[in-house]
Amino acid sequence: MNKTALRALLRERRALIAPESHGFARPTGQGRRAPGLSQHQVDQLLHRTFGTYHRLESGNYPNPPTSLLRDIARLFGLNEQEWVSLCRYALLQDPPGPLHLSSGKEVPGVWQEAVDGIRHMAYVTDASWEMLAYNERFATMFPNGKVPANTLRWMLLDPHGRQTLLEWDTAWAPMVLPQLRAALAARPDDDILRQIEKEVLAESRTADLYAAGNSHPHPDGDERPLLHAQEGSGWVTMCAAQPLTAPGSRLMILVFHPGETRTHPRAGILRAT
């Protein structure tokens, strides 16, 4: 637990909430004059035992439950980045999932301009793998430039996707299916992901691979065979990143080299000197 950072974050955000906004009367006589909710009022609003919040803010609550942290984050109106900070300060780890289910479903519009400026194939999807933005170079990968609405469903279930993703059974599906499992662990109530899982389990080919339970958390740096609609067979190396305002979303940059075999030099590791 990072007690100093935790105390600073909680005090700052607690001070911004007017007691009157939650039905509390501010004392008029002698007594407390500190801005914002009192620690006792926080306990009342969260239906917690008196002194619970004080223990947390003072740094005397080791390993507090994430349910308490989530309730406090929502009461204090934290955004997703502050929610991550709260969990890191209190638990020394990232949160198990987003603060709000709606988080990760949208990114600032400037991302389209950013993606357009990338010379390689590039796109942005939300936390459910729904397409948000892509560049023209990415559209050329598909016949007639028709980009799929959901890249996860396309990779796992679409017949054209299985033709495009060469060696699908060994080079793609075993690596993509664990990402579905990981996404559902963080977003168990996501209807789109649940529907994709249902479709995966309904087909023996994908169900067997899904049941294998392989661990592959992300594709960043992976190189896999791919059939490009215009450039033919080749190898694509994936660079993955996440827009910070949308947890679970992803920016994918696909570096494609045509050719049946890997004839291009593989990039090394970048390190600061």
**H or E element: which one contains 123?**
strand 121-125
Q: Which residue has the higher pLDDT, 259 or 114?
A: 114
pLDDT of residue 177: 95
Task: Give the model confidence (pLDDT) of 197-242 as tens digits.
Answer: 999 999 999 999 999 877 777 788 999 999 999 999 999 999 999 9
The pLDDT confidence band at residue 27, using thresholds 50, 70 and 90, is low
Percent of the chain with pLDDT over 70: 95
138 neighbors 131 (Cβ within 8 angstroms): no
CA atoms lying within 13 Å on the CB side of residue 170 = 2
Answer yes or no: is pLDDT of 269 > 90. Answer: no
- List, in sequence order, the alpha helices (H) in 204-265: 204-211
pLDDT of residue 91: 94
Domain residue spans of the chain: 3-91, 109-258
Q: How confident is the model at residue 29 (pLDDT cuts 50, 70, 90)?
A: low
What is the fold, at CATH topology level, of the domain defined by 109-258? Beta-Lactamase (3.30.450)
Residue corresponding to tokens 């023996």: 204
* pLDDT at 43 > cutoff 90: yes
What pLDDT, on the 0 to 100 scale, is given for residue 40?
A: 94
Strands 250-258 and 121-125: antiparallel
pLDDT computed for residue 273 by the predictor: 78
What pTM was estimated for this model as a whole?
Answer: 0.75
Tell me the C-alpha distance between 135 and 188, whole Å.
31
Report, as an integer, the average pLDDT of 248-272: 82
Domain spanning 3-91 has what CATH number?
A: 1.10.260
Strand-pair partners of 130: 150
Rounded Cα distance between 74 and 71, Å, is 5
